[in-house]
Chains A and B, each alone.
Chain A
Amino acid sequence: MKTRYIIYSRFNSDIGLSKQFHVSDSLSEKWIAYRLLIFNLYTRRSLEAQTNQDFLSVLNVHPDSMSIVEAELKKYPPLPPHIVFTSDKNQTIETYIRDADQLYLCNLDSDDMYHPSFVQFLHEHPTQKDKPLLLLKNGYILNTNTHVVNHYYSPSPPFFAEIFDVKDYLSYARFYPPLAHGYMERFNHETITQRLFMIILHDRNTWPNYRREVPKVFETNQILPDWQEVLKDYHLI
């Protein structure tokens, strides 16, 4: 059975059922320049550090801003061929999975990180037929201003992998409008307890409530005794 692994990021496109995550400014040069800076510092680093490079990273770009994104990307080293910014995610995904039997469709916000072992974990993890969704509820959170890192837990985080038969994905799943990640726990899922993600706190996170949620990372003292090992693991030091 041939399996394809896709890490999908909504860079500045996709309107879901609720518009809570639609960022109104996201087509501007300023927003794009900043987010691509964060992407290159953190998210791209985690993608290129994956111990298993058998995946496609798809970042969905609003068509009206594609030229801005392309111009801005030229300021950075060229992307490897399996990290793609596209304004036609459907075409990109469907071309990639066409000859496969199974698809792992993972979500990653374009300013966050997966642990370098994440893709390898997907390759090795035995799945359960009635739980075709892996929800990663445990991870880390890093404040890039204070360099404080802490554990992070969410019951329905933006870190998950949906597992499809390709024929099912093509026949129905691809048509359903995307959901805010808070709804994902309503699907039958398996909870992954390994800490395989890191949320990156920077100056312009779209979720405004981190300061209330994780106040300690906004202080100056490190919280975890192994914080240096954690940052090394994620290739951040």
Chain B
Amino acid sequence: MNKHIIIRMELNFSPPLRLLNFLQQPPADTASYEGYESDVASLEPHFNLLRYFILPNLLNQTHQNFTCFIQYNWDIHPFLLKFFESFGRPPAHIKFIASRGGGMKGTLKNYIDASSFDEEDSLVFVKWDPHFVYGLNLIEYLQHFENLNGEKVILFDNGYLYNGTTNQIVKQTLPIFNGMVYLCTPKEHKRYFRVYEQFFLFDYSSFSQFPYITTQEVPYLFLRGEKDFKNLSTLNPVLNDQLSQFIKRV
């Protein structure tokens, strides 16, 4: 029986409406668009999260045997292309998919069907909120995890909170509900899971009836406060040290 770790993440930000309208019109002179620079700049914190936290967290996992699907709003497509031009495309196992024509659900269905997994293999779905990063041992932990008591859900209970506004990291005292891991087989996914997720959000409240386990083995960091996120070099050594368990510095 093989285990397949599938990370699913959704970037739910869009350009401001007037920027969106501007992009959808025939090419126009940006000089005539008052506020163009500030509207484009409003997207920067989101891309900073991607550049400085999410992608490093994924790429520096001690185990890279996973597939990550990151769904983005089609409206940010031109900005995402610019982002890739500047910083390079991620490797093949981190896939950006647009939220149209089936989006995440259709892509996952096709991916699982096309992969010819054995119907009793283990699918490990990681529902990953883009404002969170995990310890670099996440994939390793999931690879070795055995649900000996029939657990279907893993919740993470060793949390920290980084406030980008105040530049502080504090311990979080509640188990995380925004991110969780769900375990199923391709057989269950085909028969049940993919139908349920067609029409409702699989959040924690939906999973509250499923047997679960909480773990302290993988820390997580909740990134709160849409600030710069990029001035990591100005952070104090204690903060740097705390962050290093989530992202390696290059």
Among A17, A132, A171, A173, which residue has its beta carbon within 8 angstroms of that of B150?
A171
In the bound complex, how far is the Cα of B188 from the Cα of A177, in angstroms?
Answer: 15
Q: Which 7 A/B pairs are nearest by Cβ-Cβ distance?
A: A175-B210, A175-B209, A186-B195, A172-B188, A187-B195, A17-B200, A176-B192
19 contacts between A and B (CB under 8 A): A17-B199, A17-B200, A168-B187, A171-B150, A172-B188, A173-B192, A175-B152, A175-B209, A175-B211, A176-B192, A176-B196, A176-B209, A177-B209, A183-B195, A183-B199, A186-B195, A186-B199, A187-B192, A188-B191
User: B198 interface residue, CB < 8 Å from A?
Assistant: yes
Which chain B residue lies CB-closest to A132?
A: B191
In the bound complex, how far is the Cα of B209 from the Cα of A176, in angstroms?
Answer: 8
Restricting to A172-212, which residues have a CB under 8 Å from any CB of B? Answer: 172-173, 175-177, 179, 183, 186-188
Restricting to B182-230, which residues have a CB under 8 Å from any CB of A? Answer: 184, 187-188, 191-192, 195-196, 198-200, 206, 209-211
Residues of B within 8 A of A176 (CB): 192, 196, 209
In the bound complex, how far is the Cα of B196 from the Cα of A173, in angstroms?
Answer: 12
Chain A interface size band reads 10 to 19
> What is the size, in residues, of chain B's interface with A at 8 Å between Cβ atoms?
16
Shortest C-beta distance, B147 to chain A (Å), equals 10
Residues of A within 8 A of B206 (CB): 17, 177
Most buried by B among A172, A173, A186: A172
Shortest C-beta distance, A170 to chain B (Å), equals 8
The reply to whether A187 and B150 contact each other, CB–CB distance below 8 Å, is: no
In the bound complex, how far is the Cα of B167 from the Cα of A22, in angstroms?
Answer: 47
Residues of A within 8 A of B195 (CB): 183, 186-187
Residues of A within 8 A of B198 (CB): 186
Contact flags B171-185 to A (C-beta < 8 A → 1, else 0): 000000000000010
The dominant DSSP class at the A interface is loop
Residues of B within 8 A of A186 (CB): 195, 198-199
Which chain A residue lies CB-closest to B187?
A: A168
Shortest C-beta distance, A191 to chain B (Å), equals 17
Which chain B residue lies CB-closest to A179?
A: B196
In the bound complex, how far is the Cα of B205 from the Cα of A177, in angstroms?
Answer: 11
List 14 extra interface pairs beyond A175-B152, A175-B210, CB under 8 A: A132-B191, A168-B187, A172-B152, A172-B188, A173-B192, A175-B209, A176-B192, A176-B196, A177-B209, A179-B196, A183-B199, A186-B198, A186-B199, A187-B195
In the bound complex, how far is the Cα of B189 from the Cα of A15, in angstroms?
Answer: 23
Which chain B residue lies CB-closest to A90?
A: B209
In the bound complex, how far is the Cα of B196 from the Cα of A183, in angstroms?
Answer: 9
Which chain B residue lies CB-closest to A17?
A: B200
Residues of B within 8 A of A171 (CB): 150
Shortest C-beta distance, B238 to chain A (Å), equals 43
In the bound complex, how far is the Cα of B202 from the Cα of A176, in angstroms?
Answer: 11
Residues of B within 8 A of A187 (CB): 191-192, 195
Residues of B within 8 A of A177 (CB): 206, 209
In the bound complex, how far is the Cα of B196 from the Cα of A171, in angstroms?
Answer: 17
The reply to whether A172 and B184 contact each other, CB–CB distance below 8 Å, is: yes
In the bound complex, how far is the Cα of B200 from the Cα of A179, in angstroms?
Answer: 11
Shortest C-beta distance, A130 to chain B (Å), equals 9
Residues of A within 8 A of B191 (CB): 132, 187-188
Residues of A within 8 A of B211 (CB): 175
Which chain B residue lies CB-closest to A165?
A: B187
Which chain B residue lies CB-closest to A187?
A: B195
Residues of B within 8 A of A188 (CB): 191
In the bound complex, how far is the Cα of B151 from the Cα of A172, in angstroms?
Answer: 10
